[in-house]
Structure 1
Amino acid sequence: MPHADDALDLDAIGQADLVRRKEVSPAELVEAAIARIERVNPQVNAVVIKTYERARAAAAGPLDGPFAGVPFLLKDIACEEEGVPLRGASTFGGDYVPTADNELVRRYRAAGLLFLGHTNAPELGIGPTTEPRLYGPARNPWDRERSTGGSSGGAAAAVATGMVAAAHGNDAGGSIRIPAACCGLFGMKPTRARNPVAPHFGDIIVGIAADHVLSRSVRDSAALLDVTAGPTLGDPYWAPPLARAFAEEVGADPRRLRIAFSTRSPIGTPIDPDCVRATEETARLLESLGHTVEEADPAVDGEAFWRAFTAVIAAGVGWALAGLERRVGREATPDDLEPFVWGFTRRAREQTAPQFLLALQDMQRHAREMAGFFVEHDVWLTPTLGSPAVPLGTFSLQQGGDAMAMRRQMNVFAPFTWMSNASGQPAMSVPAGWNEAGLPLSDHFVGRFGDEATLFRLAAQIEAARPWAGRRPPIHA
């Protein structure tokens, strides 16, 4: 019989299999995961809200579903769990306690997952690093003085250190894929509207934001998307239906794919040589696996696309804050929010409704241009990031200054990920090795709208050819 702590070194599917075979109990897994969090979390600050007693009670009751008994973590952004505070990593908004699970959490619960707590994130989920004033910084287990990325940085640190096998994240510009890249994990952003955001929303920021998980294995990501994907009553639109379960795509022949690759930033920012090298090596690996690989990128005006996208994102931040203001019954002031978030809010308030709709029109036009690239190509490969994980404090979110210059600085770090949020296409960050400093490197793959299946097949092929899950960071449970 395996020890429960050893079982946590397996992926979520492996843990669920042990539970089904009664080789380990849900209660034992929960206690082992709690012990790991208590042992490791002080070093990385990943879990900021703990719900241990609720998990213990759930583990003692009847459980069903493909992940029955598997420990899991939710993110403290837009993920409502009944009876647990949702702060959005912000001091503004009060201690809001949802009275019901949102649809995504309900589906996770129905799959048998056991929630141990909520993870760290930047204020209101804005920015590619997790250093909120409320909780303090999440620390990268590969180097504690470096960022975990954002906004799902707490989730990434929790999975990378072995607290849990997979954790919830959401992504409006790279917030699943950036932390996955920083922490050596697999991260998939699904197609727009693949997962529901009911009951409070039809979509979030005109469908730019998407929920899913960060995981150590490709098969976990696929199987977890199977349990959450699909529309719910009243959704304004939904992703194309599936030919078969995502789990069935893992290990399936991806066939000979037409893969374009590029290491050029779409807005002309520099790319670290380690990131360039990793992507070029992956291109050669893909050729050796039988794929057709050529250097090419979408003929899109990256600067204009970026301006339109950030205008829409700014409106989304203003919308999110307006919702909090309505909840607490007063307007926010600069003292209520971190300077970087306030800069976005100020831009949102200066923008007129016609200006917003023009920006949305421009973003959608560029997204159509990007989608056209996939008529001739199945997949687009780039680095995930412009550099490996940066030192904490690089982005100075707590200081004032030129908000536009700050956003530009951030896009130097993550110049590729936001484009698939704007277009709604599925995209994934796949581990690509480590540099000489021991920091993870990662590749970014974008697929056609609605075609996560091809990405999962390709990711599983890369995972088999170049495994990554066996290498652990210096900080690990």
Structure 2
Amino acid sequence: MNKSEYRKHDGLALSELLRDRHLTPLELMDCAIECGEEANRKLNILSYTAYEQARERARRSTLRGQFGALPLLLKDSGLAYPDLPNSFGSRLFADLKINFYSTLTERFIEDGFIPFGRTTVPEFSMAPTTEAVQNGGPTRNPWNLAHSSGGSSGGAAAAVAAGVLPIAHGSDGGGSIRIPASCCGIYGLKPSRGLIPTGPARGEGWGGLATDGVLTRSVRDTAAVLDGVAGMEIGAPYASPPKEGSYLFQLHKPFEKPLRIARWNVGFDDIPIHTECFEAVDKATRVIESLGHEVVDAALPQIQFSKFVEAQISVMAANVTLSVNGKVRNDPGSGWEQKLEPALLDAYRFGAGLSAEAYALAITRFHTIGRQLETYIADYDFILTPTLMQPPAKLGTISTQDDFHTFRRNISRYATFTAIINASGQPAASLPLHWSSEGLPIGVQLIAPFGHESRLLRLSAAIEATAPWFDKVATL
């Protein structure tokens, strides 16, 4: 199979070719590695690779699960897999080995995936752009090399958009799947809190903000992945939302009645929305209305946004302190401070002085937003927003050279509508429906009630069928 033919297929289509013996797992892995190396030279998407181990696994593989023996890239965010080191995008943690499998990695493998590398992230996955010093340079947007691919799953999104592979692992603690999906013109769904396992070594990430997921070029691939990896894990601190059968099986099930969808046209605290992002929402509105549904302009919920941003800063800083202390506690005089970027070193120091009261208040604010948003959406079936307030940022414009508070407040003006959904725990997806006058992707976000991934995927699939995006693959 040549690269051009390879890029015409999504993950499920490639798995069918494997089962029909039109190609072997090793041929498929070789193709993914070749595409990955080509894209990495231009985009800087890979932090670690394990090509020979992956080839050997492909050579010995028997087809399993839904995907047979499909190549997969894992985000460099610490998802445990012994064949691949980790760095978390930080020089302080470079080449860290974790010698066990996470529950999610085990489920990926059982469903037919073979990991062959890790994708680049910003330091500690804290930014909406992927420019960590540890990566040796920025990860570039495959549609315009002067712009960011997004973050924190920036390497993953760029890899999928460039046709390296149809599915890549990502994670999302403030928009880190949806932001790069928007920047790179692909589909990215953040699952409900508790749906995706986090164990065995971790109970939650960032006070319940973070979850894992995937970035894909087709909605059906995301549905199939959730069928394979979602669900309760023994000992998890959150119950998994109940599933109504297979997400993939229900994907094209019609809705019982027309949907009512709230549209947000203004930002919290009057944060401005770029004209191109308005146009993306307008296009989404026309597509949704053509499907027979109603879109209504709605007032924002009464969320105290600036206080939420401060709560997010507190929880993220506390987690930086926890991670760094776990690394340096036994070697405090090693000069480790020089291995952190300025904003993250400032986060460490702020987190070290954070009071227990301030942390508890931050968690309380997250819970308040969860109740507010779930109450708000009870009057609607979905919420429609721009994914980002601006087109994909130019490289260097969101900088870790700032102090941590300034850095995170700047992010809140760029990704205003993403992180609050991490606080609420609801599912949300970015759909690639619009392209700017400069040829850059502009995503729109659909937010669903808690646990309603099936309905979110069904509407996403209907929109995809009406305004398809799969054939848009970046040419490098």
Query: TM-score w.r.t. structure 1 length?
Result: 0.95
The equivalent residue for 1:440 is 441
- CA separation of 1:52/1:329 partners in 2, compared to 1, >3 Å: closer, same or farther? farther
* Matched-pair contact (CA < 8 Å) for 2:45–2:159: yes
CA displacement at 1:201 relative to structure 2:
0.8
* 1:26-105 → structure 2 map (5 Å cutoff): 26-63=25-62, 64-105=64-105
DSSP 3-state at the match of 2:118: strand
**Residue 295 of structure 1: aligned partner:** 297
- For structure 2, the 5+ residue unaligned runs are none
Give 1:8 deviation, angstroms.
4.0
Q: 1:51 to 1:371 in 2, by over 3 A?
A: same
CA RMSD of aligned residues (A): 1.7
CA distance in 2: counterparts of 1:18 and 1:430, whole angstroms: 27
Task: Rate the CA distance shift 1:465–1:199 in 2: closer, same or farther, 3 A.
Answer: same
Q: Distance in 2 between matches of 1:68 and 1:240?
A: 27
1:184 and 1:441 in contact (8 A); partners too: yes
1:412 Cα deviation after fit? 1.7
In structure 2, how many angstroms separate the alpha carbons of the residues matched to 1:78 and 1:281? 37
Name the CA shift for 1:30/1:335 in 2 (closer, same or farther; >3 Å). same
Alpha-carbon distance, 1:377 to partner: 1.0
* Distance in 2 separating the partners of 1:193 and 1:330: 39
Indicate if the aligned counterparts of 1:364 and 1:423 stay in contact, CA closer than 8 A. yes
Q: Which moved more, 1:196-205 or 1:296-305?
A: 296-305
Deviates more, 1:150-159 or 1:99-108: 99-108
Match in the other structure for 1:119: 119
The answer to whether residue 390 in structure 2 is matched with residue 373 in structure 1 is: no
Deviating more after overlay: 224-233 vs 126-135: 224-233
* 2:264 corresponds to 1:262: yes
3-state SS of 1:467 partner: coil
Kindly, what percent of the aligned residue pairs are identical?
Answer: 37
Any conservation in 2 of the 1:5–1:32 contact (CA below 8 Å)?
A: no
Aligned to 2:227: 226
- Cα gap change, 1:98 to 1:406, in 2 (>3 Å): closer
CA distance in structure 2 between the aligned counterparts of 1:363 and 1:271, rounded to whole angstroms: 24
Which residue of the partner structure matches residue 108 of structure 2? 108
Match for residue 132 of structure 2? 132
Contact 1:8 1:33 in 2 (8 A): no
Deviations 1:115-157 (A, max 9, x none): 1211000011111110000112111000011101100000011
Instruction: Return the alpha-carbon distance in structure 2 between the equivalents of residues 449 and 111 of structure 1.
Output: 25
Letter in 1 for 2:269: I
Q: CA deviation at 1:329?
A: 7.2
Give 2:275's aligned residue. 273
Displacement after TM superposition at 1:282 (Å): 1.2
2:394 maps to which residue?
391
1:329 & 1:210 partners in 2: Cα distance?
31
Q: Conserved in 1, the CA contact under 8 Å of 2:49 and 2:84?
A: no
Aligned to 1:244: 245
Q: CA deviation at 1:237?
A: 2.0
Q: Distance in 2 between matches of 1:322 and 1:353?
A: 17
Q: In the TM superposition, what whole-angstrom CA distance separates every residue of 1:343-391 from its partner, at most 9, and x where no partner exists?
A: 2222212210111101211221122112111111111110000111111
**2:193 and 2:238 in contact (8 A); partners too:** no
Q: Which residue in 1 is equivalent to 2:286?
A: 284
CA 1:317–1:331 in structure 2 vs 1: closer, same or farther (change >3 Å)? farther
- In structure 2, how many angstroms separate the alpha carbons of the residues matched to 1:188 and 1:455? 9
The one of 332, 335, 349 equivalent to 2:338 is: 335
Deviation at 1:433, TM superposition (A): 1.7
2:333 maps to 1:364? no
Question: Secondary structure of the residue that 2:413 maps to in structure 1?
Answer: helix
Shift of 1:283: 1.5
Using a 3 Å threshold, how does the CA distance of structure 1 residues 124 and 86 change in structure 2: closer, same or farther?
Answer: same
Q: Are the counterparts in 1 of residues 187 and 429 from structure 2 also a CA contact under 8 Å?
A: yes
Moved more, 43-52 or 297-306: 297-306
The aligned residue for residue 321 of structure 1 is 324
Match of 2:464 in 1: 463
Opposite residue 122 of structure 1, the aligned amino acid is P
The 1-side partners of 2:364 and 2:407 are apart by 25
- Cα pair distance change 1:209/1:184, threshold 3 Å: same
Whole-Å Cα distance in 2 between the matches of residues 447 and 386 of structure 1?
20
> What CA distance in whole angstroms lies between the structure 1 residues aligned with 2:123 and 2:308?
25
Q: Structure 1 residues 333, 267: CA separation in 2 closer, same or farther (over 3 Å shift)? A: farther
Q: Give the distance between the partners of 1:362 and 1:412, measured in 2 at CA.
A: 19
| CA distance, structure 2, for counterparts of residue 472 and residue 327 of structure 1 | 48
Aligned residues, how many? 472
2:25–2:61 contact (8 Å) kept in structure 1 = no
- Seen in structure 2, the aligned counterparts of structure 1 residues 423 and 330 have a Cα distance that, compared at 3 Å, is farther
Partner of 1:215: 216
The 2-side partners of 1:410 and 1:326 are apart by 30
Q: Distance in 2 between matches of 1:447 and 1:186?
A: 16
**Structure 1 equivalent of residue 189 of structure 2:** 188
Q: Tell me the distance in 2 between the aligned counterparts of 1:66 and 1:377.
A: 34
Letter in 1 for 2:157: A
The answer (yes or no) to whether the contact 1:166–1:216 under 8 Å persists in 2 is yes
Q: AA paired with 1:313?
A: M
Indicate conservation of the 8 Å contact 2:53/2:83, yes or no: no
The CA distance in 2 between the partners of 1:330 and 1:246, in whole Å, is 52
Shift of 1:202: 1.3
* Counterpart code for 2:81: E
Partner Cα distance (2:215, 2:333) in 1: 36
Secondary structure of 1:92's aligned partner:
helix
Cα distance in 2 for partners of 1:329, 1:108 equals 38
Give CA deviations for 1:303-352 in whole Å, capped at 9, x if unaligned.
22222233222222222323333587778753120112122222212210
Amino acid at match of 1:80: A
